Structure 1
């Protein structure tokens, strides 16, 4: 099947608008020029609204993982303790990254299980320079309680480092109100730009914590990004991926045109439509929620129906022209995931549900098609 005819419904990368693709074909420019400074400034100004912050924002030529490493590596060194909350693949990644630079205090929960705030409080009372959290854990389809953890971090004078890679641009994120010292977003998720860029917001408290660091990162040193970003013509410390800056700027213009309130409402409605359709087909959600957590509003993680391998569902969907995601590591075959982030439309979601119903009918799990699509339509019609 031609890639142009394939519907990409995974938790990133996401489909990119034609105008964003066209933007990448612009001629190269001097990355130390006024033209580049204008692009950089424009992106930062729109991102300030996405992040809901007055903190500095920097753009890195690298994926969201580069932003994660920049965050922990810039503030934590030998002897520093970093509490790393893990309830999914990307919490595990944050833990592993922090371990390269500091003493990690792991706070591990079963993947898909809600974070226990009492245990977070206990770890913070023991003292730590920073605490890391994945706000929207796409590997398990769960939204973690960032606001509550931000309050605890502030109370115990710990830096709060948050991976907002798959929530920023698609759901409510209030960096300043929640007390997030460093927040990260990836370009290929809710912002709907091509992969390869990360944006990082950094508070004054985080910059103060960088003072006196004996060893510093080189390429992803956030102090270097601040020095370059504070110039009269803002720039990056090293040669940026100029075509990706073009694309990011255009994608952010789409975000601005839609407006964050409308964009969040759309993301929430489409994810609710997927969950409601799943319920109509007797498919169980994977995450186990408590009063402080909620289902992700950018990706839906579902348990594989009894007797059906999640990888088979993923492969069947691919044959029908829809790309969804399976489980990662020990969750492989046990769950499957449908993304609804970026510029996903109601038609995209309905097409996905229709194909999923056909797959499940052919697998003998449901007797007839239509219930899931009808249930999703009832939610989408509210938009």
Structure 2
């Protein structure tokens, strides 16, 4: 199992210093105040990276915990909630809202595009009676990226709280929580942060905290109640025993990002994503998206004659490589390349692209160009110092 090459849209590769940090001797997180200070400092570092002075917490549970907890803590019976839906995970919020007694109203758009801001504003002009709205920053099954800098302020104009799933985007895409007026921002340890799976990151605004306190009924459940965290630091007492080794690993992963510089990390993701997409198009494949490309996931259509599921099975059987297709109706039509976190490194990606190339050819795909050569050509083009940022922002994908 240790010899497998794993390249998926999370969990991502974990750097050795993160693994070593998880193996360090630990204390008792329930009673040692030094750990409380360590936890708080880790949360503050995350807050700096995502641009917020709001309270930040680390929860013991994979990123889905945060999505459910946000809905559980905000939703009361009969609350109308706007579910912004242009992807599988975007629509998935409907289940959490309904589960806790809310009425989910879908604003649905084409899954091949990011949310159209003018269409959303027109919708809100006719109906804005919502307690909160849910938005996915990057919808992992297709890699579509939504513009939070426009969506969240628009919703705030109508006094609608915002719950943002940034699990697949956080630190791979720019996220400015306070500037963009995000009330609850949710992340996960296993995506672009590149720590082991098992932790949720959540930031909570004062408006969201006030909504928790103004509930007419108690939150259903305990573990999914974000309100239980409010006084942990003042009381020096956690709601439950914290997974200290996981948090020590997360802290090291956050330090890795800080040492690189968050802007550098975001630009690294963008360069690699842009080169990857252009390489696939020149190779003769079609991208799933028409616009709204995220820098953390590329979704590529695989010809029906080959099949995405057959492709990843071949890569697994022949090259001992774990790749991912998409979910639901796209499971056999889309290959997902998760160039996020430690996966967004040229040395790793070129090997994966070579495996995809060889697998495609051996399964009957006719091509006259090497996928790796194409990637190297575009990556070199976009890595010209000084001018690179302006240049790759002007690139138009040939779809």
Instruction: Pick the TM interval, shorter chain.
Output: over 0.9
| Residue in structure 2 matched with residue 215 of structure 1 by the alignment | 218
5 Å-filtered alignment, 1:1-383, equals: 3-31=1-29, 32-101=31-100, 102-125=102-125, 126=127, 127-213=129-215, 214-216=217-219, 217-231=221-235, 233=236, 235-289=237-291, 294-319=292-317, 320-344=319-343, 345-368=345-368, 370=370, 372-381=371-380, 382-383=382-383
Q: CA deviation at 1:287?
A: 1.4
Cα RMSD of the aligned pairs, angstroms, is 1.7
Q: CA deviation at 1:128?
A: 0.4
Query: Contact 1:29 / 1:35 at 8 angstroms: preserved in 2?
Result: no
Query: Contact 1:112 / 1:141 at 8 angstroms: preserved in 2?
Result: no
- Unpaired runs of 5+ residues, structure 2, are 384-399
Q: CA deviation at 1:306?
A: 4.5
Query: Contact 1:25 / 1:243 at 8 angstroms: preserved in 2?
Result: yes
Kindly provide the CA deviation profile for residues 247-298 of structure 1, in whole angstroms up to 9, marking residues without a partner as x. 1111111111111011111111111122121012111110132xxxx20110
Question: Whole-Å Cα distance in 1 between the matches of residues 323 and 87 of structure 2?
Answer: 18
Question: Given the superposition, is the C-alpha separation of residues 43 and 365 from structure 1 closer, same or farther in structure 2, using an over 3 Å criterion?
Answer: same
Question: Whole-Å Cα distance in 1 between the matches of residues 369 and 307 of structure 2?
Answer: 20
Kindly provide the CA deviation profile for residues 8-59 of structure 1, in whole angstroms up to 9, marking residues without a partner as x. 2211001111121122222331113123113202211210122111111011
Query: Contact 1:187 / 1:194 at 8 angstroms: preserved in 2?
Result: yes
Q: CA deviation at 1:137?
A: 0.7
Report runs of 4+ in structure 1 exceeding 4 Å deviation: none
Q: CA deviation at 1:369?
A: 5.0
Question: Whole-Å Cα distance in 1 between the matches of residues 227 and 185 of structure 2?
Answer: 15
Classify the secondary structure of the residue corresponding to 1:343: helix
**TM-score w.r.t. structure 2 length?**
0.89
Question: Whole-Å Cα distance in 1 between the matches of residues 252 and 378 of structure 2?
Answer: 30
Classify the secondary structure of the residue corresponding to 2:38: helix
Q: CA deviation at 1:144?
A: 1.1
Q: CA deviation at 1:130?
A: 0.4
Kindly provide the CA deviation profile for residues 209-267 of structure 1, in whole angstroms up to 9, marking residues without a partner as x. 11232121411222211121444x4x531111122111111111111111101111111
Q: CA deviation at 1:354?
A: 1.2
Classify the secondary structure of the residue corresponding to 2:286: coil
> What is the number of residues matched between the two proteins?
374
Question: Whole-Å Cα distance in 2 between the matches of residues 379 and 52 of structure 1?
Answer: 31
Query: Contact 1:58 / 1:229 at 8 angstroms: preserved in 2?
Result: no
Query: Contact 1:51 / 1:175 at 8 angstroms: preserved in 2?
Result: yes
Question: Whole-Å Cα distance in 2 between the matches of residues 343 and 174 of structure 1?
Answer: 22
Question: Whole-Å Cα distance in 2 between the matches of residues 114 and 55 of structure 1?
Answer: 27
Question: Whole-Å Cα distance in 2 between the matches of residues 27 and 260 of structure 1?
Answer: 29
Question: Whole-Å Cα distance in 2 between the matches of residues 237 and 123 of structure 1?
Answer: 40
Moved more, 235-244 or 136-145: 235-244
| Residue in structure 1 matched with residue 391 of structure 2 by the alignment | none
Classify the secondary structure of the residue corresponding to 2:231: helix
Query: Contact 2:136 / 2:164 at 8 angstroms: preserved in 1?
Result: yes
Q: CA deviation at 1:119?
A: 4.1
Query: Contact 1:277 / 1:353 at 8 angstroms: preserved in 2?
Result: no
Query: Contact 2:66 / 2:201 at 8 angstroms: preserved in 1?
Result: yes
**TM-score w.r.t. structure 1 length?**
0.93
